[in-house]
Structure 1
Amino acid sequence: MASHITGSQVSLREANMALLFDAITKYGAMTQVELAENTGLSSSTVSILVRRFVEEGTFTTTDTIRSGRRATLVSIARKVGIGVGLYIGRSQLSICVTDFSQTTLAYHDHPLPFGHKPDSTLIQALRLIHETIENIGASVEEISAIMVAIATPIDWKHQQIGVRGILPDWDDVDVVAHFAQSFQCPVFIDNDANASAIAESKRGVGVDYPNFLYVQAGDGVGSAMFINGALYRGSMGLAGEIGHVQVDPFGDICVCGNRGCLDTVVNEQRLVSVLSITHGSLTLDDLIRRASDGDAGCRRVVSDAAVRVGTVIAQTCISMDPGCIIIGGALCEAGDVFMEPLRQSIQRLLFPDAVEPILIISSPISSTSVALGAALSALELAPTGN
């Protein structure tokens, strides 16, 4: 009988320790008072378990101030492992390094030339990882996992590019193998919208919504769906590719091979070309800046893009019924010039007698969310015990 009680006590202690670890992994560094509030454990139990974790080297504590009072901040010790997130975009290379407490240890953006080639870009990415890890005083042996987010559909099941032709020259590149040869840790790839949605679920608006739709609108359109607190990938990992929903059956041929996809009307080249006669040569950033500054022509182009995107979002919402729609990407940086017509076009096509309208909000972490989400996802996928 005594051994049964001891075993039960051990199981309870392990369960409580798991509660603490999961809370800090999910929400980041917390004070002991906050840990007690979030786990439902008593303050004395939290104190005992934190002391045990610190002795084991799993947790570390630092002094902090909360509401004017001294408090003990608890975080996961960095030696447990770090996650590296890389974002290879059409014109951008970004890196984010986080630890298991979700603390961002480093973040950097680097421009890439239009039409950048895989060989030079991957060499630059390797160099960037080594430099960043060295700069934070860590070693590559501490890396628990690497996630590479790429601006193209990814076949999650087979960890390879899922739709050929969208990111020129990358179709036959084995991205996972390239990094796995240089680092002794698991390497994964995902698309940029999924990575951003993961960041939103952990550090952004999505924290409070188990069911939300994330939409990335800029040089093309992508999305990701969180259903019941988990990213929905579909059978091959290609769920959420709303940029390839047809909006014009007689429209331009898309890079995916179909005709009239949303991406054929909402992409940098198409948007700025409409203004070429009146405004000369513009970039997407120029267009967004001028629209925000009140340029009538630029505002019209951004507004028209919002209506196009909103129409497809509404169709997705009727099937998915999200509690929240989070908008990221370059176009949301135009503020209400983009967001208001987007909201109107979505609400106009949803059920008019719904009890309450869907919350539609621009992401406050959009500029960093891809690499951040990739880093957080890497740690989720890393084998335990590192």
Structure 2
Amino acid sequence: MDDSPGSLASLRSRNRLLVLETVRRHGRISRVGIARATGLSRTTVSSLVADLLAEGVLSEAAASAPPSASRGGRPATPLSLNPEGGGVLGVHLRHTDIRVLLADLSGGVLGERHRGLDVDHQPGRALDFVAETALDLVATEGRGMGRVFGMGVAVSAPVRSRSHTPSTPSMLAAWTDVDIAARLRERVGLPVHVGNDANLGALAEWTFGAARGVHDMIYVMLSDGVGAGLILDGRLYEGATGTAGELGHVPVVDGGYVCRCGNRGCLETVVGARALSSAFSHIRGPDTTIADLVALLAADDPGARRVVSDAGRMIGQALAGVCAVLEPRLVVIGGEVAAVGRLLLDGVRDELTHRLPPAIGHAVAVTAGSLGDRAEAFGAIVLATHQTSAHLLKP
């Protein structure tokens, strides 16, 4: 059957993917609900759902309400993704460590591995660990789960969509010209898709976490690096060249520290994990971590409170212009640094309220992410599912 763009087979594949993504976002939804949410006809939805049920990708649950005497007929039967219908691998290559998840189609974690590693300067070791760990997870945790559809990889740099390589060599110099997807595909024998980690964190919080049901949101990832992912009108926005959301490289301090991007005073040099930890290194030593900062906050240390509050205000300062232009409903703060908690969020809120026009400032909510430091790996799972479903599940 012809599956070229615009063909009937291609259209059916896209519609199948649309049905899957709709079920994923809602968790449980009826055929009628899918038709309303997607705009597809009920006949088309019924046909697609029948195929997906037969393949074990979707499952039916018992109706939650008895038939209504006034309406007559049977109650709508809710559909959900079948956890046993297959799985997906998600990887987060951070600057200093790697996380690999194996999840079922509903997002349930079947297995997980985490290791500290100098990812920035050791691409070979990093990819070896990912490949070996992925194969081990599938062999030990994925038995009986059916097909493994593919792998998603989140990296801490903008990504060239065609070559799957970092698009800003100065930020990950050792990874220049490393085709991550090709290297891993050869090792694990699965489709591999690569994306920017902040973008994928946004997808994860929108799909599984704090931003479910919100069509316009900004996800701010605060870790060793600082980035933002934008969901606008229910779609991930990546910009003209795929580099939208580089919030960490917005200058906020005149004549500040030199950033790894080459500029001075970028937000990342002020609120990144290393920057915040170093603020206490002269007191607690060079091995101070974000966990130490969290402990100091729990002890109501005034210096820790000041550092975190100031960081929140700096983030709010960098976000203010973005919010004024885009008017999001929600700002989600995630990443390792988000563990410092309420004071950071309060600083962001205060600065946005101060800098934005009242009509916008009062409408923008600020909240912590609900997926913690797994968000970007979960986003890689969403990416892999979205990219591979239309091909591996096509009629």
TM-score (normalised: structure 2): 0.81
Query: What corresponds to 1:6 in structure 2?
Result: none
CA spacing shift, 1:127–1:18, aligned 2, 3 Å: closer
Deviation at 1:316, TM superposition (A): 1.2
**Contact persistence 2:59–2:80 (CA under 8 A):** yes
Matched, 1:102 2:101: no
Q: Is residue 2:316 matched to residue 1:310?
A: yes
User: 1:263: how far off?
Assistant: 1.3
- TM-aligned CA distance change 1:376 to 1:291, over 3 Å: same
Does residue 26 of the first structure (1) align with residue 14 of the second (2)? no
Q: How does 1:182-193 map to 2 (within 5 A)?
A: 182-193=187-198
**Which one of the candidate residues 160, 166, 170 is aligned to 1:165?**
170
1:205 match: secondary structure? coil
Query: 1:339/1:85 Cα in 2 relative to 1: closer, same or farther (>3 Å)?
Result: same
CA distance in 2, matches of 1:227, 1:64: 35
Q: Deviations over 1:309-344 (max 9, x none)?
A: 110011211121111111111222111121111110
In the other structure, the counterpart of 2:386 is 380
Unaligned runs of 5+ in 2: 1-11, 67-75
Contact 1:153 1:162 survives alignment (8 Å) = yes
Q: Name the SS for the 1:308 alignment partner.
A: helix
Using the size of structure 1 for normalisation, the TM-score is 0.82
Query: Which deviates more, 54-63 or 176-185?
Result: 54-63
Q: Which runs of 5 or more residues in structure 1 are unaligned?
A: 1-12
- From 172, 193, 200, give the equivalent of 1:195: 200
| 1:141-178 per-position Cα deviation (integer Å, ceiling 9, x unaligned) | 93322211012222335421011232353234221221
RMSD (Å) for aligned C-alpha atoms? 3.5
Asked whether the equivalents of residues 331 and 338 of structure 1 are also in contact (C-alpha less than 8 Å), the reply is no
SS, match of residue 261 in structure 1: coil
1:365 pairs with one of 357, 371, 377: 371
1:322 to 321, 328, 331: 328
Taking structure 1 as reference, are residues 54 and 244 closer, same or farther at Cα in structure 2, changes over 3 Å only? Answer: closer
1:241 to 219, 223, 246: 246
- In the TM superposition, residue 300 of structure 1 has moved relative to its aligned partner by 1.3
Which residue in 2 is equivalent to 1:57? 55
Matched, 1:112 2:116: yes
1:125: Cα distance to partner?
Answer: 0.7
- Residue 154 of structure 1 contacts residue 189 of structure 1 at CA under 8 Å; is this kept in 2? yes
Tell me, yes or no, if the aligned pair for 1:302 and 1:331 is still in contact at 8 Å: no
* CA offsets 1:235-274 (integer angstroms, 9 cap, x no match): 2211000111111232222111122211122223332222
CA contact (8 A) 2:251 2:264 kept: yes
Taking the aligned partners of 1:75 and 1:275, their CA distance within structure 2 comes to: 48
One-letter amino acid of the structure 2 residue matched with residue 290 of structure 1: L
Identify the structure with the greater strand proportion: 1
Q: Distance in 1 between matches of 2:201 and 2:219?
A: 8
Counterpart of 1:345 in structure 2 is 351
Post-superposition offset of 1:385: 4.5
Instruction: Judge conservation of contact 1:288–1:331 (CA < 8 Å) in 2.
Output: no
Cα separation, partners in 2 of 1:55 and 1:307, compared to 1, 3 Å = closer
Q: Distance in 2 between matches of 1:134 and 1:61?
A: 25
Q: 1:322 to 1:157 in 2, by over 3 A?
A: farther
Q: 1:196 to 1:22 in 2, by over 3 A?
A: closer
Q: What amino acid is aligned across from residue 277 of structure 2 in structure 1? A: V
Q: How does 1:1-386 map to 2 (within 5 A)?
A: 21-28=20-27, 30=28, 34=30, 36-37=32-33, 39=35, 52-53=50-51, 56-59=54-57, 61=59, 74-77=79-82, 81-99=86-104, 101-114=105-118, 117-138=122-143, 142-167=147-172, 169-281=174-286, 282-354=288-360, 356-382=362-388, 384-386=390-392
Q: Which amino acid aligns with 1:193?
A: A
Per the TM alignment, residue 24 of structure 1 is displaced from its structure 2 partner at its CA by 2.1
Identity of paired residues, percent? 26
Displacement of 1:233 after TM fit? 0.6
Structure 2 CA distance for partners of 1:246 and 1:58, relative to 1, 3 Å: same
After alignment, is 150-159 or 226-235 more displaced? 150-159
8 Å contact 2:267–2:314 — kept in the other structure? yes
